[in-house]
Amino acid sequence: MGSIGPVVTDTETERISQGFAFADVLAIGFSARLNQFQFDIRPSIRHVSNAGLNSQNAGYNTRNIEFGISYCL
């Protein structure tokens, strides 16, 4: 999965200015079905930056892992 979307921050830090920014996410995961249930696991990397629109633009990166359980009706 890959996505790019807007972010609005209300706090200025030493790495990024307050206001409008972008979040880029790259993830890959696995799904398994067991009867009516679906189990998901998805590690991802997220980068947030304001694309040079404001003065502070070092951006920051986070590593995440998502778990999900769905019940199919």
Query: Span 5-16, mean pLDDT?
Result: 84
Could you read off the pLDDT of 20-72 as tens digits, one per residue? 888 999 999 999 999 999 999 999 999 988 877 777 677 889 999 999 999 99
What are the residue ranges spanned by the domains of the chain? 2-71
**Helices assigned H by DSSP within 1-73:** none
